[in-house]
Structure 1
Amino acid sequence: MRRSLAGILLCFQFAMITVAQQPAPWPPPIPQAPSRPRPATQKPPQTSQPKRDDDLDIVKIRTNLVQVDAIVSDEKGQPVTDLRADEVEMLEDGKARNITNLSYISVAPKRLESTSESKSTKSNVPVPSVPLRPEQTRRTMALVVDDLGLSFDSSTYVRRSLKKFVDEQMGPNDLVAIIRSGSGIGALQQFTNDKRQLYAAIERVKWNPKSRAITPSFSRFGDDRTKGPDAEMKDSARVNFEQFSEEIYTVGTLGALNYVIRGLRPLPGRKSIVLFSDGFQMFNTNDSRIRAALQRMTDLANRAAVVIYTVHAMGLQPLGINAAEPVDGMGGAELELFLRTKRKEVFDSQDGLDYLANRTGGLAFKNSNDLSLSVGRIVADQEGYYLIGYRPDDSTFDQSNGRIKFHDLSLKIKRPGKYKVRMRNGFYGVSNEQIATVAESTQTQMVSALVSPFGASAIQLKLTSLYVNDLNVGNAMLSFLHVNAKDIDFTEEPDGMHKAELELMALTFGDNGQVIDQFSYIQTIRIKKENFERGMKNGLTYNTTIPIKEPGAYQFRIALRDKSS
């Protein structure tokens, strides 16, 4: 029986340094032909994977320069955009530092005048968008849904707020991803300005049965009150088990955030993460892993210029007794213990979210049932920021005693009036030059290209994928890849043949972000002299067939590199 397949098909290309040949785990597709004639001895323009422009770095921590971002507002909450360098003072560990640069960066989306053409395109069907280039991106936002820590009710409210964001609050130059903490490596490939893909991601936001928020943990005080001498022991064991489960899933949530932050780092400009979660405890847990993970993560976020906003998805919680809580039969002391524990757990669940936001210069939203209003304030908060650079003291990066010191940062406004400053609270005394960087293997670099929202421009590729039902394979995705042959470096051999070696890698992602199929191999191309000019004119075409076992939405991504580049 034929099954319908909704395919979200993206194509990315990559060109890098050479690596050792690897065996092909899948039979390679057949090249059908190698775009303009070019002499055999002429090499294509040497274009490589775009390097990270250091001028685009917002947060810089070096031995001769520390640069951070900050948001300044007046007593009415309105942004202040006209401060001068002589009106501010940067303090490192309470000591004033010499400011070398101060500038205000506006990233507010441009207001486009409405035209008859734009009005005529309004419909319930999203118009396909043109992919953004790095220099066109104004805001990069990762909307992280902590499905490892959301209750059933919270999942519904979060899904509504996400849809409203895409409908009304998302700008045309915003690069957005909707990521679930329970997703896999496919999470980072979802950064896009295409609302169709975002709507598809919203549909996948559902309650996770493995969530640590299966039921409110304080309900344990109201159910299964077993009578007998072992009742207290059972309650204690259940409490310990629930606390252990919550800590395990909390570490999983932080691990997902860590992964997203690392993926955001090479993207341009000031990045933000909006975390929707029912929260997690930080200061009232015996698990030091949570506190250590939070500290490492905030330092990583600060160095990657990532601001974290948090939304406590539980909303405004009634701290009294509600009809869903079985409190019948409780005595006065037991009822008081129940209410006290309930209040404590609600407030404790906000600790970790407050910490993440405060340490990275973001905002923590809580005790509000209007999640869309919180998201709107987050979008408005990202319309501009200050870049402030100063020259650090020699002692800032001193590690003579073998210890790395954390340096507190604060900004003092000397202009008359009352102002509120939000910025990163500090950094560890390790410069970016001192952080050891391990050279990535070519395979790792190609995987990074596959999950990047931006494609490399070194080799022009076009990918076309079709759903087919084959007698031998069954339901499958048939893909054709066209390669612009003028971007490939062919060498002429003594026998007149023209030779090139290409390395291909492909990943297929399911709708849950998991990799469901992958392959890589090295293809050697040899073209006869009399066919070379025609091949250069028409280009190279590859085809491959990927079996589809389940109906649903898939992403097929492919990267290609010329081994001689």
Structure 2
Amino acid sequence: MRIRRLPASTLFLLAIFSSFGVPAVAQQPQATPGQSEDVVRVNTALVQTDVTVFDRRGTFVEDLKREQFVLKVDGKPREISFFERIEAGSHSEEAQLAAARGSAISGNTGGAPIPLDRGRTIFFFVDDLHVSASDIVQVRESLKRFIDRTMGQNDEAAIITTSGQVGFLQQLTDNKAVLRAAVDRITTRQQNVHDAERPAMSEYQAMLVEQNDRDVLDVFIDAILRNFPGIPRQIAGDMIRQRAAAMLQQSGMITTNTLSALEGLVKSMGRLPGRKLVLFVSGGFLLDQNHSDAFDRLKRVTSAAATAGVVIYSIDARGLVATSADLSGGAPFDSSGRLERASMGELGATQDGLNALARDTGGRAFFNTNALSSAVTTAVQESSVYYLLAWRPDSEEQRSQRFHRIEVSVVGRPELLVRFRRGFGEVEPAKTAAQPRRGKQPAAVMKIPIDELRATLRSLYPEVALPVSLTLNFLNIPQRGSVLTTSLKVVTSRVELEPVGATRAANIDIAGLILDIQGKVVSSFENRLTIKINSTDVKSSPPDSVSYNHLAAIKPGLYQVRVAARDAKQGRAGSSFQWIEIPDLESKTLALSTLIVGERKLGAEGPPRIDPSKPGGDKDPFDQVRLNVDHRFTRTSHLRFLTFVYNAFGAKPLVPTPESPDNSQGNAAMVPTSANAGPDLAVQVQVFRDNEPVITDPLHKVSVEGIADLSRVPYAAELTLNGLRPGRYVLQVTVIDRLAKTSASQRFAFEVD
């Protein structure tokens, strides 16, 4: 049997509570497993591009060989030095990308383990400056459908907007509650370009006027002359041109804001591993080279995407659109149809930018479809596997700062659709270094360690130079109410020890923030952990890791916890971020604490034996099982967990006693309403991999026998891991209240090595 229920003894529970009070624990070094993947390395830096190949049915073409591809750079054939088929989000993806660059895996020098099933990285960039109020509703629905139905177990996603209206929730996360909350914040910020003059003129009509389109010019000139017959035709034309230029100036600023925000996002993604997907959702915009730098910015986005390993899929939020001109809103009367004929190209013109971003980064554009959810699903599926091609640049390419064009084709297969990055290289002018001035130079600004630690804490993405793990546990404790325990673990196996008297020591500075959904700090901590070894031997090694726990009172709501650590001597820093949702126990609805999880190593057989006659370790189950912080387990171990069920139906509060006078905030103990009545709870334990159940324990009754405080019904069990393949899993515990006909569940993500 994989799952074994454990007795819920009062001492067992108290021992777990006491484990949260340990401020810092040093763990002894453990053997580090060797690299399991054989990766081909090259000696010099290469330039790479990812390529996807599809047949006429839109299916990815498998089993293509290196010799079947033809690669050209600026029209010149290049020999393909590296070729590999890669699955996005796989364990080997970052290793193969590093091999194609001819470099080691960046950011993993501190010994942080590479996830076996890392998952895909997906950014939704909603151009709310160009999406109408009617279209934004469908955009929100499509995003929520992706979160609920398409997002994988190990995927991470972020909801970004041009205006930044999502605020603090505009972060990369795997927490679906956070993503749903981010989607709910999206509203239209569309800035329609209009003026008070009549007849009304659209942005596209203004562009046609700028281009001296005689049909459009004549329509608007005729309209002015009908209202002001005495004005010369030339002056009327000048008035129309000035009006169009002012509108295009305003439109160009809005487009610049959109492309600038997209460029900033793409550049920031370079710090993330693997291939990243950006779904660019917009209502379209015009590219006007006379009143904006839109064309240059498109190239800059494309160049940044090539550097950061980003592919863009564009989605027109307008869906299926008629191509005829919109004659509402005070458009000039035109019985000749000249304005309507000239405006037929408006839809395509507003889609040119979306198409260019997708085509030049190796993605695809979805136009004229109302099935936005289907477009999102297709984009995620198409980008999940690709071929990686790399070549050694010649000296001219290395010296040149200009943008280089790429062409990729498959020999003898003209029917195949090949998508690839259209170029690489910087398009921004090189910045000239400032010449040092003669005379006295200003002193260099000294970096303050605490400021560096706080900057790491506030970084956009977690730092990995110093591996830091984080786990969060929510509990409701008598007389204290709801509390949140933040447990962090810092890998210190590579920390350098310095002699201090008869010992060797090192310092690790740590800090943490608990932030609410608005990004406001509700609790924080800063501390210094000192590692000491009673030896002066320079060969003595530091402990494998140090741990720290922080306890804070917490109110119901959604919170993010950020922790960071810094090696005081070497300056290497790392951080970890995690979200948690605290239930409102005052609502009296069924709720669970988080899953408090530990690992029992091979040899520590059987459940913890508790002997009330013996104090100390004999009644501490964590003598055998320590709280697991890094969510990693060996296949030969056992996963042990504990959770508490709150607000079970069928119990009433006890009368307050002098020992427990404060029964406010839902902390009152509960007893059955009669001698024979009591909570009727059932529990099911499941383990998932890639959203598919691999272990399902039959539904069974939760025993409440001998439990005095029924406001917190405990449930503990142990899971055998020896039948699970290495990879990432999710433990899910679901409790059903049969009397109230409600249920609640908690999940715990973990990895088996």
TM-score, with length taken from structure 2: 0.51
For residue 221 of structure 1, the aligned residue among 200, 205, 217 is 200
Shift of 1:369: 1.9
Distance in 1 (CA, whole Å) between partners of 2:298 and 2:559 is 33
Structure 1 unaligned spans of 5+: 1-30, 39-43, 48-52, 111-131, 468-476, 530-535
Shift of 1:527: 11
Paired residues of 2:516 and 2:557 also in contact (CA < 8 A): no
Distance 1:255 1:201, change over 3 A: same
Query: Could you say which residue in structure 2 is the equivalent of 1:303?
Result: 307
Paired residues of 1:218 and 1:342 also in contact (CA < 8 A): no
Paired residues of 2:88 and 2:274 also in contact (CA < 8 A): no
Q: Secondary structure at the match of 2:266?
A: helix
Where in structure 2 are the equivalents of 1:156-555 lying within 5 Å?
A: 156-183=137-164, 190-208=171-189, 211-213=190-192, 221=200, 239-282=244-287, 284-320=288-324, 325-327=328-330, 330-332=332-334, 336-337=338-339, 339-340=340-341, 342-399=343-400, 404-416=401-413, 418-428=415-425, 447=455, 450-452=459-461, 458-463=467-472, 481-483=486-488, 500=507, 502-504=509-511, 506=513, 508=515, 510-511=517-518, 515-516=519-520, 523=527, 540-542=548-550, 553-555=558-560
Structure with the greater alpha carbon radius of gyration: 2
Q: Supply the AA of the counterpart residue of 1:376.
A: T
Distance in 2 (CA, whole Å) between partners of 1:394 and 1:187 is 45
Q: Supply the AA of the counterpart residue of 2:278.
A: I
Distance in 1 (CA, whole Å) between partners of 2:531 and 2:68 is 68
Distance 1:73 1:138, change over 3 A: same
Higher helix share: 1
Structure 2 unaligned spans of 5+: 1-20, 92-112, 203-222, 434-445, 477-481, 534-543, 571-753
Q: Secondary structure at the match of 2:293?
A: helix
Q: Secondary structure at the match of 1:190?
A: coil
Distance in 1 (CA, whole Å) between partners of 2:198 and 2:183 is 30
Paired residues of 1:188 and 1:451 also in contact (CA < 8 A): no
Shift of 1:186: 6.0
Query: Could you say which residue in structure 2 is the equivalent of 1:104?
Result: 85
Distance in 2 (CA, whole Å) between partners of 1:220 and 1:133 is 62
Distance in 2 (CA, whole Å) between partners of 1:85 and 1:109 is 21
* 1:321-343 C-alpha deviation (Å, 9 max, x unpaired): 668x1358x43268632x35643
- Structure 1 range deviating more: 84-93 or 236-245: 236-245
Q: Does 1:95 align with 2:97?
A: no
Q: Secondary structure at the match of 2:381?
A: helix
Q: Supply the AA of the counterpart residue of 1:269.
A: G
Paired residues of 1:71 and 1:421 also in contact (CA < 8 A): yes
Distance in 1 (CA, whole Å) between partners of 2:489 and 2:163 is 38
Q: Supply the AA of the counterpart residue of 1:351.
A: D
Identify which of structures 1 and 2 has the higher relative contact order when contacts are C-alpha pairs closer than 8 Å and 6+ apart. Answer: 1
Shift of 1:307: 0.3
Query: Could you say which residue in structure 2 is the equivalent of 1:559?
Result: 564
Paired residues of 1:217 and 1:242 also in contact (CA < 8 A): no
Distance in 2 (CA, whole Å) between partners of 1:72 and 1:264 is 24
Distance in 1 (CA, whole Å) between partners of 2:30 and 2:532 is 23
Distance in 2 (CA, whole Å) between partners of 1:107 and 1:335 is 51
* 1:307-354 C-alpha deviation (Å, 9 max, x unpaired): 01111111222233668x1358x43268632x3564344322112111
Shift of 1:385: 0.8
Distance in 2 (CA, whole Å) between partners of 1:171 and 1:277 is 25
Shift of 1:250: 1.9
Q: Supply the AA of the counterpart residue of 2:416.
A: Y
Distance in 2 (CA, whole Å) between partners of 1:221 and 1:56 is 63
Q: Secondary structure at the match of 1:148?
A: coil
* 1:337-391 C-alpha deviation (Å, 9 max, x unpaired): 2x35643443221121111111111111112222122212212211311111223
Distance 1:103 1:528, change over 3 A: closer
Higher strand share: 2
Q: Supply the AA of the counterpart residue of 2:399.
A: D
Distance 1:454 1:342, change over 3 A: farther
CA RMSD of aligned residues (A): 5.1
Shift of 1:498: 8.8
Distance in 2 (CA, whole Å) between partners of 1:560 and 1:222 is 58
* 1:442-477 C-alpha deviation (Å, 9 max, x unpaired): 75686466432687773444456899xxxxxxxxx9
Shift of 1:231: 9.8
Q: Supply the AA of the counterpart residue of 2:334.
A: G
Distance in 1 (CA, whole Å) between partners of 2:58 and 2:501 is 74
Distance in 1 (CA, whole Å) between partners of 2:385 and 2:247 is 43
Paired residues of 1:139 and 1:175 also in contact (CA < 8 A): yes
Q: Supply the AA of the counterpart residue of 1:502.
A: D
Distance 1:499 1:78, change over 3 A: closer
Q: Secondary structure at the match of 1:557?
A: strand
Q: Supply the AA of the counterpart residue of 1:424.
A: R
Q: Supply the AA of the counterpart residue of 2:294.
A: I
Paired residues of 1:175 and 1:191 also in contact (CA < 8 A): yes
* 1:108-145 C-alpha deviation (Å, 9 max, x unpaired): 999xxxxxxxxxxxxxxxxxxxxx96442232110111
Shift of 1:167: 2.6
Distance in 2 (CA, whole Å) between partners of 1:353 and 1:527 is 54
Distance in 2 (CA, whole Å) between partners of 1:539 and 1:173 is 26
Q: Supply the AA of the counterpart residue of 1:192.
A: T
Paired residues of 1:464 and 1:480 also in contact (CA < 8 A): yes
Distance 1:459 1:238, change over 3 A: same
Q: Supply the AA of the counterpart residue of 2:157.
A: V
What is the percent sequence identity of the aligned residues? 29
Paired residues of 1:138 and 1:173 also in contact (CA < 8 A): yes
Distance 1:454 1:290, change over 3 A: same
Paired residues of 1:109 and 1:171 also in contact (CA < 8 A): no
Distance in 2 (CA, whole Å) between partners of 1:321 and 1:381 is 34
Query: Could you say which residue in structure 2 is the equivalent of 1:472?
Result: none
Q: Secondary structure at the match of 1:221?
A: coil
Paired residues of 1:501 and 1:522 also in contact (CA < 8 A): no
Distance in 2 (CA, whole Å) between partners of 1:358 and 1:244 is 27
Q: Secondary structure at the match of 1:451?
A: coil
TM-score, with length taken from structure 1: 0.66
Distance in 2 (CA, whole Å) between partners of 1:417 and 1:538 is 59
Q: Secondary structure at the match of 2:138?
A: helix
Distance 1:453 1:526, change over 3 A: closer
Distance 1:235 1:422, change over 3 A: same
Q: Secondary structure at the match of 1:137?
A: coil
